[in-house]
A and B are shown apart, each in its own frame.
Chain A
Amino acid sequence: MLHLLKIDLKKLIDYRTFWIICGLYFFTLILGAASGMEFLKWLGRTIEGFGQNININRIPLYHFPDIWQNLAWSAGLLKLGIAIMVVISITNEFTYRTIRQNVIDGLSREQFLISKMLTNLLLSAVSMVLVFLIAVVTGLIYSPVFDYPYGFTGIAFYPAYFLEVFAFLSFALMLGVLLQRSGLTIVLLLNSYLIELIIKENIDNYIPGVVPFFPLESIMNLVPLPFARYAFQEIRDYVTFGSIAIALVWTFLFNYFAYLKLKKSDI
């Protein structure tokens, strides 16, 4: 297993595009986290300009425990960046035909796929740890207090965030294996949300209750949007077993479809 991961990492480690995209991803993550507070201050000043007064410290965006879900959800938007990296990594193998040579050299097709999946796992794990660390640091900076154990509420969103990223990367990997061209795959990846939205909106009238079972919807449901709570709305601030189960099944299916395609095609 570790050997297969090392093989895939060896392909990436000297690939400049990989580092540029990863760098941009993590840089945006940190910048996004750091600028949220500035945005709030600006919002406060602007509203003040209209003659009203809000106390931005009353919006506990960066306070424990809100920070956990807030950041996990926000970071979830950026997973598209790593997904594009995954698409490039897999479609390169088809355009350069290196997948063919890998198999000739003695990797089985399953092993080839597993090596890509392992990289996806690693990227998801690194991303989770990083977002977690940013949450800890910003939380410590802005939180007035940290009361145990209340401050840890919602920390379960981190394993959920991990699954969210891994599920989405599995989706990207599958699209890459099916389409084999980077441009086409990225376009479809970007449009997949819109396509799913159209289907979701229309199907709900016919089969009520089916929407949470849609693939991208199930990935989004892992960490639900938290910010509505600042407008005094009810939000779900805990991880549900059902959302995990649905996302896990889709993750399995994405990888399985990729496997089937690889298995039966001439490469």
Chain B
Amino acid sequence: METVLSIQGLTKNFGKLCAVNSINLEVKRGQVFGMLGPNGSGKTTTLGMLMGVVNPTAGSFSWFGQPPTHQLRKKIGAVLEHPIFYPYLSGQKNLELMAMIKEAPVSNIPKVLELVELADRKNDKYKTYSLGMKQRLAIASALLNDPIVLILDEPTNGLDPMGIAEIREIIKRIASDGKTIILASHLLDEVQKVCSHFAILRKGTLVHSGPVDDVGKGEEKVEVIAFHDDIALLLERFDGTISVKKEDQQFVVKMKEGFHSQDLNRYLFEKGIVATHLLTQKKSLEKQFLEILAEAEHAALIKN
């Protein structure tokens, strides 16, 4: 798969503070890549270096296999941290200005405004917009030049639940167009909901990176409720079973790798049992995130 972004040893020090510590990372075409980390872990700083506004202390990166230039940035749509626009200009004029900078066709403006549902407010001054509208205009501006890569930094920060849902819907829609998206967020469930891959930053250090699907893999657990006398025994005998545990009235079956709930369901059905409840317990990203952070914390403690 084509590499969109490749980072080698990227480092940024602010005086004594090491905000980003020798990060290595690859993002491939078509990935929705989540950068996850608590506040202050260096996400925005990393993106700032990738977009040429923060000068790296050390390390390098390449976009599309080429060393970064301002010309390449025109094909990347990025909003870092907060939407930034000229407050005294209307949404439309702001986008016109941006189109000039990005050398994007002006005819794209109505399209992107439509996409984020701002067309009817486009002639109002930016400073009169609500926070949600500002965030949506930012996404519109990032999409202006039909970017190959979209970079969003905490795109739902400060929004109400409805605004959050709207923005996520927009991101999913863009992702389904096959665009590569890099999404920085401190919200786990945001990354889990929209990302295909993710990396975890902690105090400027990359502590994990991999596909989101991995998280559910390995030991899948399936909850089963079925009214049959020998149910416990039957579950034990299933080929994919590692162990069975009884919790209240339900059984939790720990599955071997490669076995899924539908296999168990089929097995039970063949035995003439119809389960009244059959549910895969996904190991949540949150659990794994906390585990990884705890591991990193532990490793850091040992090192010092």
Contacts and interface: CB of A to CB of B under 8 A. Distances in A.
B97 A7 contact: yes
Interface string A143-184: 000000000000000000000000000000000000000000
- Interface residue range, chain A: 20 to 34
A105 B52 contact: no
Interface in A92-147: 92, 96-98, 100-108, 111
A6 interface: yes
B96 interface: yes
Interface in A70-103: 92, 96-98, 100-103
B269 interface: no
A107 B70 contact: yes
A96 B100 contact: no
A1 to B, nearest CB: 14
Interface stretch (B22-30, B80-88, B207-215): B80-88
Given A10-B96, A96-B87, A108-B70, A102 B55 contact: no
B68 to A, nearest CB: 11
B75 to A, nearest CB: 8
B240 interface: no
B54 A6 contact: no
B110 interface: no
Identify which of B48, B86, B103 gathers the most chain A CB atoms within 10 Å of its CB. B86
A58 interface: no
Contacts of B71: 106
B93 A14 contact: yes
Main secondary structure of the interface of A (DSSP, over half): helix
B73 interface: yes
B302 interface: no
Contacts of A104: 51-53, 73, 78, 80
A96 B74 contact: no
Interface in B13-50: 48
B98 interface: yes
B101 A105 contact: yes
B102 interface: yes
B148 interface: no
Interface in B133-154: none
Contacts of B86: 11, 15, 92, 96, 98
Interface string B89-109: 110010011101111000000
B139 to A, nearest CB: 14
A103 B93 contact: no
B84 A96 contact: yes
A155 B102 CA distance: 43
A105 B102 contact: yes
Contacts of A98: 84-86
Contacts of A11: 86, 89, 97
B98 to A, nearest CB: 6
A110 to B, nearest CB: 9
Interface of A: 3, 6-7, 10-11, 14-16, 92, 96-98, 100-108, 111, 264-267
Closest 4 CB pairs of A and B: A106-B74, A108-B70, A101-B84, A106-B73
